[in-house]
Amino acid sequence: MKSVVHFVRKSTQLRASFIRNQIQYHVRYAPAVVYKQFSRQNDGGYAALDTAEGLPVLDLSQGATLVEKALFKLAYCLSGRDTSRIVRFLGEQNATVLHFHYGSDAGMYASVMRGADLPSVVSFYGYDCSSFPRMYCGYGGRFLRQNVFGPATRILAMSQQMQDDLVSLGCPREKIVVHYFGTDIGRFAFPAREYPEPTGPVRLLILASFVPQKGHLILLRALRKLLSQGVTDFTLRLVGDGPLHAKLVRYVDEAGLAKHTDFTGAILYGSPEMASAYQEADIFVHPSVTSRANEKEGIPGAIVEAMASGLPVLSTFHSGIPSIIHNEVSGLLVPEYDVTALAEALSRMIADRNLRERLGRRGREHAEQCLNIRHQEKALEAIYDQLIDEGKRPIRDN
């Protein structure tokens, strides 16, 4: 069996389903993991997800010297000893391909990409090709060009939109492959879902971290607009937590939305509580926006999960979302930040059970056929195969 070594910056990134699933669902490749930082256990129990249990792991934080810790903290780079440890680990695993997650973190491992006689793949996910390139007075963009676009063999973009963004940053188009990593559809599919006429308020759901690019405040403004128009037969469940929590609660109180909303806190990915959240809702809303810091999403996993569950989805023409939702066919899309358009779409979906059923069924069909990680993992391994068969070393940019 061939071997792929996955690289992340810190162990907590293994909690992210879009990374963890790619590691766990390999078919023909034996995975191993490398990370530079290890999380502590005082994080509410989530550190249990950081261990990559059952997989070979190289934790570079073990035995790190004070100099190495300072080098990483101040210069965001590996020591020579770190690189040597990685090269030795690659040999022990008989590695045939390297997969780096997040372009902004892959650059930290540039010495490995340049020094290992192995093909390398770098996955971008959103902020790493939107807000990160503008950081540090534009140094983020130079960092990507020098330490990622140059030494990497292939760059994976989640959508055509992301590919265009990467090209505009200086990545050679011929290095980029558009590949969506997929979602574990089986976790969220409910064969018995029905779309009855509601006997009470229509139940809206948003499941996302409370950060600007998720669009919570835009959604609440749209709901306030509905109330002003006399539309009151809805409830909104907000699942998640984050830095905007206090601001959102304050807005709910000021807008008179308190009796229509329920802040239920964060829930663990893949838990029964998460499945119930999707199963009990009538409409899933995720109005993604580009933040003031230019931070974008890629393809939000919660949207794909909701589609897999049969929920009708209302979202925005943002980043890669239009690549998975055909407007008016497998969901509804509105322009970013357009409160009026969002309110109108919500009003339509709340009032029309047949519309909800049609969008929900078509969305589920599309998720099962095109967004399933079991299919997409095979496509990912085919990308690995091609690079190995070609025997290509990284293309050096002049």
3-state secondary structure (DSSP) of residue 186:
helix
Specify the pLDDT at position 52.
63
Tell me the C-alpha to C-alpha distance, in Å, between residue 168 and each of 130, 151, 207: 11, 18, 31
Among 3.40.50.150, 3.60.21.10, 3.90.1150.10, 3.40.50.2000, name the CATH number for the domain at 185-370: 3.40.50.2000
At 49 the pLDDT is 46
| Cα 203 to Cα 105: distance, rounded to the nearest angstrom | 39
Inter-CA distances, 373 with 125, 183, 263, Å: 16, 5, 30
Element (H, E) at 113: helix 110-115
Spatial separation of the C-alpha atoms in residues 218 and 199, rounded to whole Å: 28
Q: Where are the domains of the chain?
A: 2-182+373-390, 185-370
pLDDT of residue 47: 44
**What pLDDT is recorded for position 35?**
96
Count CA within 13 A, CB hemisphere, residue 268.
Answer: 10
Vertex 80, ends 78 and 84: CA angle to 5°?
Answer: 100
Would you state the torsion angle of the CA atoms of residues 139, 142, 143, 149, taken in this order, to the nearest 10 degrees?
160
Give this prediction's pTM: 0.92
The dihedral built from the CA positions of residue 93, 16, 12 and 179, taken in this order, carries a sign that is: positive
pLDDT along the chain (398 residues), means of 10: 96 89 96 89 44 84 94 92 97 98 98 95 98 95 98 98 98 98 90 86 98 98 99 98 98 98 93 94 98 95 97 98 98 99 99 98 96 97 96 47
Beta bridge partner(s), residue 204: 236, 283
Question: What local confidence, expressed as pLDDT, does residue 42 receive?
Answer: 40
Predicted local distance difference test score (pLDDT) of residue 192? 77
- Give, as one character, the DSSP assignment of residue 396: P
Task: Please return the burial class of 209, using the count of CB atoms within 10 Å of its CB with bins 0-12, 13-18 and 19+.
Answer: middle
Q: How far apart are the C-alpha atoms of 259 and 249, rounded to whole Å?
A: 12
For residue 51, the model assigns a pLDDT of 54
Nearest to 320 by CA among 355, 346, 288: 288
Is the domain 2-182+373-390 a CATH 3.40.50.1950 member? Answer: no
Identify the three-state secondary structure at position 227.
helix
The β-bridge partners of 262 are: 237
Q: How far apart are CA 27 and CA 24, in angstroms?
A: 9
